[in-house]
Structure 1
Amino acid sequence: MPQSVEEHTGARIARIRKQRGLTQQGLAMRANVSKSLLSKAECGQKPASPALVSACARALGVSTSDLLGQPYAEELRRDRMDALIQPIREGLENWDVALDWESAPRPAALIRADVQQALTHRRQAQYTDMVRDLPALIDESVHAVHTTAGDDQRLAYECLAGTFRCVFTVAWNFGYVDLATVALDRLAWTAPRADEPGLAAMHAYLRAQTTMSSGRYDVGMRVIDRGLRDLEGQDARRPGGLEAMRGVMHLRAAVLAGRMKDREHADARLAEARALARTTGELPDFGVTWGPTNVGVHAVAIASEMDDFGRAVELAEDVRIPSGWTRSRAGHHWMDLGRAHAWAGHPEQALDCLQRARRIAPQQTRYHPTVRESVLALKRRERARSSSLARFAEWVGI
């Protein structure tokens, strides 16, 4: 059944807190947050920020997905996405043992073309197409790894790394944190064998992302800084790709600093990223979106996560999304801006932003907890029933 409108993230925190026999003061002390903030989040007066959710999850001994209500099983079943996840779980069981296929694998270059297509689906948030192809691509890449040598084998390892990158994205976005962690471990094993520094940097970038779920932002920052040091002086087949990875890792550090409410550090990291982006321009590689536009949308997102919604709206005025820009990043920007408008008291602008996100990246929008929280906030605050909001809420699953 669709979740109740009252079951926002703050309400889940309250429900699980009571199941643990904790008072608000007790949870606030364990989570190292203010009782006032926790109280307002539980009753829906303030948003349950990602930092608050992570802190409460650690204190309650649950995952952030539990507090966010993920995975959204009913909607996944309705879209038949749940049936596509299990073959991926099975596919990840083997990554290092030769298969008993009698036929030879396709040339690594042909496998790579299909993996690149999967990575394109990932960046465009076309998850159904991507997920459907991944199990076969994992098996074929494993087979190629064990039946080739030299540069063909290195390329096969690169293909395998690309499939694990795709698995991480869909698992993380749909709330299967356990599956995302397995994919990350597989990437850690594969990246060095591909002999491409950019893939090792990708592992650091994604590992830092997982620390956002656990609230260990200090660990994430150290992972990023170590990854940046490891890139220094590296030779690469794709030097532009290394610059892109440097840039997105600075952005990841800025987000981590924002989660820690360290505005000065976040601004410093954004400044480093902005300076690099002025040199490189738009430079997508290794499945990331890098350039001046991405710096701008990250600045908006960080301001929103720090509950500085007015500043987020103001910063968004300077963001111009280029035609043909990555749909996953563009959709995320409109979700972040929609959240900012929702909590700044601008319901019409908020819904407009969420509708834009839906048009650009529908699957990503439908399953993202930020969207659900924003919709729930809008529904609680609406003075007169809005048919547009009701239709959007029904589409999301509320």
Structure 2
Amino acid sequence: MSTTVGAVAGMAGTSVSALNSARYSPGATGQPSSPTKDQEPSSCWRYRPGASTGSTTAPPSAGLLGRTHRRGHRHPAVGLALELGLGEAEPCSLREHLGRMHLRRGNSTGKAQVGGMTDDEETYIGQRVRQIRARRGITQQVLADRAGLSRSVLAKYEAGLRPVDSRRTMLALAQALGCTLGDLTGSDDRIDPSTSAFHRAVPAIETALWTQGNITDTRRPRTLKELTTAVVQASQLRHAGDYATLGPLLPDLLTDAYRLTESGSTQAWDLLATAAYGVSSALRQRGHDALAWTAVQESERAASHADSLAPVAAAQFLKSQVLAARPGALAASLSVASGTADRLTPEAATRGELETVGMARLQAGFAETLAGGDAQPHLEEAAELASRLNDAQPGHSTARNRTFGPANVALWQLSSAVERREPGVALRIAETLDPTQLPNGVRHAQYFVEVGRAYAMKRDHRSALHALLRGEHAAPQHVRGLSPVRELVGAMLREARRDLATGELGKLAKRVGVVSV
């Protein structure tokens, strides 16, 4: 593996120079303590926690990685072994581990280099955890206890030796640190040229929501028919993951939808509910959770004036999704989604109602997974709802979720298996699912991202990279903004050889914002 010298030194409670001396110091024979590529060490001592650390314990040829300081002080490398959980590993496990990490003394710029990256170029969740923990004045042990993790696992997260690839773990860390998921995942995509147009539209979206459309605007308001066409177009752009085109359309879309409700028409309220739902969904995907909550509340309010269950179910589904990203709110997320599905399933009749209620049921299953429960009953009920779609009438509401169906149910099963860290199960599900049955765009991309995450858990990084590239091709803006993708790509890059950093993996790392361009 690879990591930064500074991060590893911090784990061991020592300095970079001391750690480098441990890595490169000669043993008693005057030769480097690490074996050459053609020769195994003739004598190799292993430190075991609980064993004596006196100077007589290690044989004289052990080198610095197998010795303690004079007067019984523990060598920094021993502290590092404890932090990495390597004390009971293979003989000379620490030396071998440091060798795999490709630690460098520095490059021509004087900065520690790992693979193709320098210290100031790296960005990963564990790094932010370490920074926030330090600012909070919390020790690793205290944070590990609060988050329900072992200290050694937390140390690996912070040093970049292991990706934080579970939403449940991220929520636990965020709650223990008293921060949001966004604080841990960052918001680098907000300055990405490919999506900056969306983020530039956010202030105008915020104004439209806060004023409920009562703004200075000299445009001619759109008719119900014109606005219906615009709402459908916005939904298509969102499902395609084209946020740069979508963002600038949303402020006027909201303003016109608000103004049409002045007539009291149920169709106008239905349009506002659907428009606000789409705005909230896009904001959530781009990391604007607080404003997404405001938008979904407006969708919920408008849905109460419509004459269909579809916008009601859609708003509750999205409320559950926004809540699921808040530390400590999983119980509320599950309650909203499962309660909505339980209440509305008996009445769901039209295609739009079955789609939106079915999505609420899928969200209940995923929230159950995040909470450590059994999602299967929810997934089975969602599959039953999907089986009724072909015989259902289309209905008149604009609130639809055309991604819902048997293939999408299987996709959510795949996502749940990945979240449970069951890569074998996930890949078996993936083999039964034809991605061409999924809508192009975001859902297509999600399939390949989940497959990539599963392969990475099995340490098949070549297959993981191939899957991520296919996902990026399906929905570039969407995939490049996903924090699980950034975390995974960063972890793979830190483990890669230096010559691989300039290949497809290195190029992908730049596109997703893991390293500076």
Fold shared by both chains (TM-score > 0.5):
yes
* Secondary structure in structure 2 of the residue aligned to 1:62: coil
The structure carrying a bigger helix percent of its residues is: 1
Does 1:58 pair with 2:175?
Answer: yes
Does 1:129 pair with 2:241?
Answer: no
Instruction: Name the structure 2 match of 1:213.
Output: 325
- 2:289 is aligned, of 177, 184, 190, to 177
- 2:344 is aligned, of 231, 235, 239, to 231
Deviation at 1:61, TM superposition (A): 1.5
**Residues of 1 paired with 2:453 and 2:375: CA distance?**
20
Work out whether residues 299 and 315 of structure 1, in 8 Å CA contact, stay in contact via their aligned partners in 2. Answer: yes
- 2:432 is aligned, of 290, 306, 318, to 318
Distance 1:18 1:116, change over 3 A: same
**Residues of 2 paired with 1:367 and 1:167: CA distance?**
17
* Secondary structure in structure 2 of the residue aligned to 1:16: helix
- 2:474 is aligned, of 360, 382, 387, to 360
Task: Tell me the alpha carbon deviations over residues 222-262 of structure 1, each in whole angstroms, 9 at most, x when there is no partner.
Answer: 111221233144376xx111211232122112211211222
Deviation at 1:3, TM superposition (A): 9.5
**Residues of 1 paired with 2:195 and 2:240: CA distance?**
22
Distance 1:103 1:369, change over 3 A: closer
Deviation at 1:59, TM superposition (A): 1.8
Does 1:117 pair with 2:233?
Answer: yes
**Residues of 1 paired with 2:305 and 2:162: CA distance?**
47
Task: Tell me the alpha carbon deviations over residues 181-236 of structure 1, each in whole angstroms, 9 at most, x when there is no partner.
Answer: 11122112211012321111111111111222124222111111221233144376
* Secondary structure in structure 2 of the residue aligned to 1:92: helix
Distance 1:281 1:252, change over 3 A: farther
Distance 1:3 1:359, change over 3 A: farther
Instruction: Name the structure 1 match of 2:355.
Output: 244
TM-score by length of 2: 0.70
Task: Tell me the alpha carbon deviations over residues 263-316 of structure 1, each in whole angstroms, 9 at most, x when there is no partner.
Answer: xx2122222223333343699962351111111111111111112223222221
Distance 1:23 1:102, change over 3 A: closer
Percent identity over paired residues: 27
Task: Tell me the alpha carbon deviations over residues 37-56 of structure 1, each in whole angstroms, 9 at most, x when there is no partner.
Answer: 43333333433111111111
- 2:211 is aligned, of 94, 108, 121, to 94
Paired amino acid for 1:178: A
Distance 1:83 1:208, change over 3 A: same
Greater shift after overlay, 14-23 or 24-33?
Answer: 24-33
Instruction: Name the structure 2 match of 1:344.
Output: 458
Deviation at 1:5, TM superposition (A): 5.2
Instruction: Name the structure 1 match of 2:384.
Output: 275
* Structure 1: gaps spanning 5 or more residues: none
Highest Rg: 1 or 2?
Answer: 2
Task: Tell me the alpha carbon deviations over residues 136-176 of structure 1, each in whole angstroms, 9 at most, x when there is no partner.
Answer: 11111111111x24xxx211112212221122122111111
- 1:108 is aligned, of 221, 224, 232, to 224
Deviation at 1:376, TM superposition (A): 0.5
Work out whether residues 277 and 291 of structure 1, in 8 Å CA contact, stay in contact via their aligned partners in 2. Answer: yes
Paired amino acid for 2:360: M
Task: Tell me the alpha carbon deviations over residues 36-88 of structure 1, each in whole angstroms, 9 at most, x when there is no partner.
Answer: 44333333343311111111112211110010012533315874433222221
**Residues of 2 paired with 1:187 and 1:351: CA distance?**
38
Work out whether residues 341 and 349 of structure 1, in 8 Å CA contact, stay in contact via their aligned partners in 2. Answer: yes
* Secondary structure in structure 1 of the residue aligned to 2:410: helix
Does 1:163 pair with 2:275?
Answer: yes
5 Å matches for 1:25-64? 25-48=141-164, 49-64=166-181
Work out whether residues 281 and 291 of structure 1, in 8 Å CA contact, stay in contact via their aligned partners in 2. Answer: no
Distance 1:384 1:316, change over 3 A: farther
**C-alpha RMSD of matched pairs (Å):** 2.6
Work out whether residues 127 and 159 of structure 2, in 8 Å CA contact, stay in contact via their aligned partners in 1. Answer: yes
Instruction: Name the structure 2 match of 1:393.
Output: 509
Instruction: Name the structure 2 match of 1:20.
Output: 136
Deviation at 1:98, TM superposition (A): 5.6
Distance 1:368 1:121, change over 3 A: same
Aligned length: 388
* Secondary structure in structure 2 of the residue aligned to 1:325: coil
Work out whether residues 342 and 377 of structure 1, in 8 Å CA contact, stay in contact via their aligned partners in 2. Answer: no
Distance 1:322 1:24, change over 3 A: same
* Secondary structure in structure 2 of the residue aligned to 1:93: helix
Instruction: Name the structure 2 match of 1:255.
Output: 366
Paired amino acid for 2:255: D
* Secondary structure in structure 1 of the residue aligned to 2:238: helix
* Structure 2: gaps spanning 5 or more residues: 1-117
Does 1:72 pair with 2:189?
Answer: yes
Work out whether residues 144 and 156 of structure 1, in 8 Å CA contact, stay in contact via their aligned partners in 2. Answer: yes
Distance 1:342 1:103, change over 3 A: closer
Deviation at 1:101, TM superposition (A): 7.0
Instruction: Name the structure 2 match of 1:197.
Output: 309
Instruction: Name the structure 2 match of 1:331.
Output: 445
**Residues of 1 paired with 2:240 and 2:294: CA distance?**
23
Greater shift after overlay, 67-76 or 227-236?
Answer: 227-236
Work out whether residues 361 and 381 of structure 2, in 8 Å CA contact, stay in contact via their aligned partners in 1. Answer: yes
Paired amino acid for 1:55: A
TM-score by length of 1: 0.89
**Residues of 1 paired with 2:120 and 2:261: CA distance?**
49
Paired amino acid for 1:17: R
Deviation at 1:324, TM superposition (A): 7.0
Distance 1:353 1:193, change over 3 A: same
**Residues of 2 paired with 1:235 and 1:93: CA distance?**
32
